Amino acid sequence: MVSVEIERRDEVSIIWMDNPPVNALGAALRAAILHAVEAAVQDEAVIGMVLASRHAIFSAGADIKEFNQTPVSPSLRELIDAMDASPKPIVAAINGVCFGGGLELALACDARIVTSTARLALPEVKLGLLPGAGGTQRLPRLMNPADALKLMATGAPATGDQAVTSGLADALAAAERLLAEATAKASLLAKRTVRQRLRDTAADQGTRDAFEKAAATLLKAHPGEPQIEALIEAVRGSYEVPFDEGMRQERRSFERLLVDDRSKSLRHAFFAERESGQLPGDIGSPDVIDVKTVGVIGGGTMGSGIAMAFAANGFPVTLIETDEPSAQRAYDRIASSLSNSVRRGSLSETARSENLARIKTAVDYAELSAADLVIEAAFEEMDVKRQIFGRLADVVKPSAILATNTSYLDVDAIAEAGGDAGRVIGMHFFSPANIMKLVEVVRGRKTSASTIATVVKVAQKLGKLPVVVGNCHGFVGNRILARRSEQLDRLLLEGATPEDVDRAFTAFGSKLGPCTMGDLAGLDISWRMRRATGRTAPVADALVEAGRLGQKTGRGYYRYAEDGRTPISDLEVTTLIEAVSKKQGVKRRTIDQEEIIDRLILPMINEGARIIEEGVAARPGDIDVIWIHGYGFPRWRGGPMFYAQTRGYPNVVARLKELATLTGDESLRPEPLLEHLATDGKSVAPQ
């Protein structure tokens, strides 16, 4: 229930915001604050106000869900205008997260008192927007405009201490003194005859050069990002035009960006990420096991990364290797990776020692007898995995959960070897496992609800984004990737070059094209997967068979410069691909960027629809989260399934049919679910 409570302390009215969990500034809360402000202004016994929060955070800002709905008065701007017009001072008592519109409310106050743990940010750019309730005009009038611009362009939070140093906040207070200090400040400010409002000032012209420099740097770092361009224009306005004109300009930009597909996609990603962590409906709310200690089998790249992820979050880890030298190598690999983090400044020396102390290596499975969760990260071979699960069943306690980090193998077949299949599950981490946030949580046919819920909870404790998926070859991510890879190979066979494909992909918004990506991951990995499942990819197979495994051999779709990382076009590859086309009897032709993108992306959407129909993913948003976080799909496109929505389902369906006819590839025919979405007419435009 949204509410605002009003408390009187001496002559100051305390306005408590109470809209759990995050005090999002939805219509009801805005109306309640406005009402409280008006009441305080009317009340002759009140000389000032304090805006405070009943919750652990001050406010997460505007209610993002309302952005898709018809605006309801009072708008945030109307509320802020009323606060600005109040003859009595208002002080913000900021106790925690104070983001977006929440900070804009605070900027319209006469002072901001913060705790040292407060976090102040204007993160609207992350949603493809700019601050839309005066942030772009008040912030550069309050602090150095170049710093204000950087704060808004990164969306990164300033701590309470940093906010005081930069001038964003007025003073620090201990949490237990916050209200008293804010109340005292309001009483003090009430003694002034006139309120000093930011709207009555201008940005300091002496700071203009520094601002323009910061703006130029940003434009270079974010080419073509409309929210950054609009932000710079708006902040520049604080030098050039009166406050009210600056506000109008900010409003126009905000409204334009709000209806842009980019912002819609970013907002979709925000909610999809949160929803994906919720268990699918059929699981209910089972008991969750308290996981205290963890075992990892295999100290290769994945196993070491998984061990580091757990250790970094306080879990003692026992890492099992096949023999002492391998165990030592795994330990050394972890120690060296942690040292690199210290060198880069992302980890303190103390944290490194603590993390390392939590990891113990061993060769005897009996060392896992106390583990609550064991994750197998051995070779991607069914026999190896089944053997490990058989051994585990003999040593672990009956309540222990057994997880496999397989990226495509059948979890049910692995589970059969581990005794009680109810406690067996897939935990598909992405490399590097200590950095990448995504974990596909693969439920087997017999995996118990408690096992699923426990693993999701544990992954969340690691700061990961767990997404529950069904058991099938490649699960969600790699199953969709397989469709894209098939098309990639066909495109190369039919006339596109690796450069054409990568260029089209980066123009679409991906950081890396699929050929560069393949070279980075190693072409032998998918080659082995194809061999195991009797599939072929004539071009990729020929590259691997010619010893071109990617960056690791200095040659793949490209050859690599001496640094081992810079791709260089290779005539040998052109010759090799042309020879394969000839051998396959495929006539090469010029393929334009549009066809490249559609051939690569639309089959992913088609496969996604199949995955939804089969119930392998619970929600389309889950597929988007997997692709954004595991495979670098541009976040501002919202993931493949949301991209289909922005493109319009009828357009996607029509284009798939066209491509199926053009290529003779029947797998490109649209899935019934897509046909249905295209004809029901409801989901054509993005919400």
- Which residue's CB is nearer to ligand 3HC, number 21 or number 206? 21
- Which residue's CB is nearer to ligand 3HC, number 127 or number 656? 127
Q: State yes or no: residue 96 binds ligand 3HC (CB under 6 A).
A: no
405 is known as an active-site residue: no
Say if residues 109 and 52 touch (Cβ distance below 8 Å). no
428 is known as an active-site residue: yes
Q: State yes or no: residue 127 binds ligand 3HC (CB under 6 A).
A: yes
Part of the chain binding ligand 3HC (CB under 6 A), chosen from 128-136, 186-194, 313-321, 587-595: 128-136
- Which residue's CB is nearer to ligand 3HC, number 204 or number 229? 229
Reduced to 3 states, what is the DSSP secondary structure of residue 8? strand
Tell me the one-letter amino acid at 605: I
Q: State yes or no: residue 513 binds ligand 3HC (CB under 6 A).
A: no
DSSP assignment of 144-176: -HHHHHHHHHH-PPEEHHHHHHHTSSSEE--GG
Q: State yes or no: residue 76 binds ligand 3HC (CB under 6 A).
A: yes
List binders of ligand 3HC among 211-250 (CB under 6 A). Answer: none
Q: What counts of helices (H) and strands (E) characterise the chain? A: 28, 19
Residue nearest to ligand 3HC (CB): 100
Part of the chain binding ligand 3HC (CB under 6 A), chosen from 61-69, 320-328, 533-541, 546-554: 61-69
β-pair partners for 296:
319, 375
Q: Could you tell me the two tokens for 200?
A: 């009555």
Say if residues 86 and 41 touch (Cβ distance below 8 Å). yes
Reduced to 3 states, what is the DSSP secondary structure of residue 297? strand
The residue from 62, 492, 493, 577 that contacts ligand 3HC (CB under 6 A) is 62
The residue from 8, 65, 192, 535 that contacts ligand 3HC (CB under 6 A) is 65
Tell me how crowded residue 651 is: count the other CB atoms within 10 A of its CB. 14
Q: Which of 407, 471, 485, 606 is catalytic?
A: 407
Q: State yes or no: residue 261 binds ligand 3HC (CB under 6 A).
A: no
The residue from 89, 101, 305, 426 that contacts ligand 3HC (CB under 6 A) is 101
The residue from 128, 131, 514, 638 that contacts ligand 3HC (CB under 6 A) is 131
Q: How many whole angstroms from its chain centre is CA 625?
A: 8
The residue from 252, 274, 565, 583 that contacts ligand 3HC (CB under 6 A) is 274
Q: State yes or no: residue 595 binds ligand 3HC (CB under 6 A).
A: no
Q: Could you tell me the two tokens for 453?
A: 């819920």
- Which residue's CB is nearer to ligand 3HC, number 61 or number 160? 61
Q: Whole-number minimum distance, CB 251 to ligand 3HC, in Å?
A: 10
Q: Could you tell me the two tokens for 585?
A: 């009897």
- Which residue's CB is nearer to ligand 3HC, number 59 or number 581? 59
Size of the site for ligand 3HC (CB under 6 A): 24
HSE on the CB side for 410, CA within 13 Å?
11
Site track 12-41 with ligand 3HC (rule: CB under 6 A), x = hit: ---------xx-x-----------------
Q: State yes or no: residue 128 binds ligand 3HC (CB under 6 A).
A: no
Cα 329 to Cα 296, 322, 324, 645, distances in angstroms: 15, 11, 9, 48
Q: State yes or no: residue 100 binds ligand 3HC (CB under 6 A).
A: yes
Q: Which of 144, 263, 304, 428 is catalytic?
A: 428
Query: H or E stretch including 607?
Result: helix 593-614
How far is the C-alpha of 37 from the C-alpha of 12, rounded, in Å?
12
How far is the C-alpha of 172 from the C-alpha of 114, rounded, in Å?
5
- Which residue's CB is nearer to ligand 3HC, number 51 or number 330? 51
**Is the Cα dihedral 651, 657, 660, 662 positive or negative?**
negative
Site track 445-484 with ligand 3HC (rule: CB under 6 A), x = hit: ----------------------------------------
How far is the C-alpha of 145 from the C-alpha of 132, rounded, in Å?
17
Q: Which of 478, 510, 526, 581 is catalytic?
A: 478
**Is the Cα dihedral 306, 308, 310, 316 positive or negative?**
positive
Tell me the one-letter amino acid at 672: P
How far is the C-alpha of 241 from the C-alpha of 286, rounded, in Å?
59
Tell me the one-letter amino acid at 484: R
- Which residue's CB is nearer to ligand 3HC, number 99 or number 649? 99
The residue from 16, 58, 99, 636 that contacts ligand 3HC (CB under 6 A) is 99
Q: Which of 440, 494, 607, 671 is catalytic?
A: 440
Helix, strand, coil % over all residues of the chain, rounded to 5: 55, 15, 30
The residue from 111, 133, 539, 677 that contacts ligand 3HC (CB under 6 A) is 133
Q: Could you tell me the two tokens for 434?
A: 């200590």
Part of the chain binding ligand 3HC (CB under 6 A), chosen from 127-135, 206-214, 328-336, 670-678: 127-135
How far is the C-alpha of 334 from the C-alpha of 428, rounded, in Å?
20
How far is the C-alpha of 501 from the C-alpha of 514, rounded, in Å?
7
Q: Could you tell me the two tokens for 270?
A: 């925000």
- Which residue's CB is nearer to ligand 3HC, number 271 or number 379? 271
Q: State yes or no: residue 64 binds ligand 3HC (CB under 6 A).
A: yes
Residues marked as catalytic: 407, 428, 440, 478
User: What residues make contact with ligand 3HC under the rule CB under 6 A?
Assistant: 21-22, 24, 60-65, 76, 97, 99-101, 104, 123-124, 127, 131-133, 135, 271, 274
